[in-house]
Amino acid sequence: MNVPLYEKLWMWAAGVLIVAFLAMIAVGVAGSALQPPSHVETIDPTKIWNDPRFVRRGVTLDEHGATVVVVGMMFAFMPAEIRVPAGRRVTFRVTSADVTHGFQIVGTNGNTMIVPGYVSQFTTVFREPGEYLIVCNEYCGLGHHLMSAKLIVEEARP
Ligand code: CUA
């Protein structure tokens, strides 16, 4: 089969682009530890204050690290101050009491949407102790810019 030179070049260029796109996904997953949303857990948003999964909000420590249960609502996070140990696995479980919010831990890879009716969950490790700002990054109403919380990563005690 006789394929003209230009057609060959374009075919190779398309092949290189496909490899480049796949490599970008691989770098995102392996290099930056980004996780695609894969945890599908539903919740009745009108009943979260009585739901056993969200009755006790805040940090629970265990031998692997910590679990943090958070409710986002117009225009605050509950709790507004979260303390977790550095260098340990921290699993966040977040849901919304009203509309769609965001939950972004600035300067880290912790970032998820909070959609009413669903529990968003992700696990990450904070290597650097310090104070981190948590912001809502989905426009949720007039007080959107006020919606924030504080994450304090503490040096792990031996
Ligand atoms: Cu909550 Cu913007």
Q: What is the pLDDT of residues 123-149, one digit of tens each?
A: 999 999 999 999 999 999 999 999 999
User: Distance (Å, rounded) from C-alpha 141 to C-alpha 138?
Assistant: 9
User: Distance (Å, rounded) from C-alpha 138 to C-alpha 135?
Assistant: 9
User: Distance (Å, rounded) from C-alpha 23 to C-alpha 90?
Assistant: 28
53 Cα to the center of ligand 1, angstroms: 22
pTM: 0.77
Ligand 1 contacts CB of residue 144 (under 6 A): yes
pLDDT tens, residue by residue, 103-122: 999 999 899 999 999 999 99
136 Cα to the center of ligand 1, angstroms: 4
117 Cα to the center of ligand 1, angstroms: 16
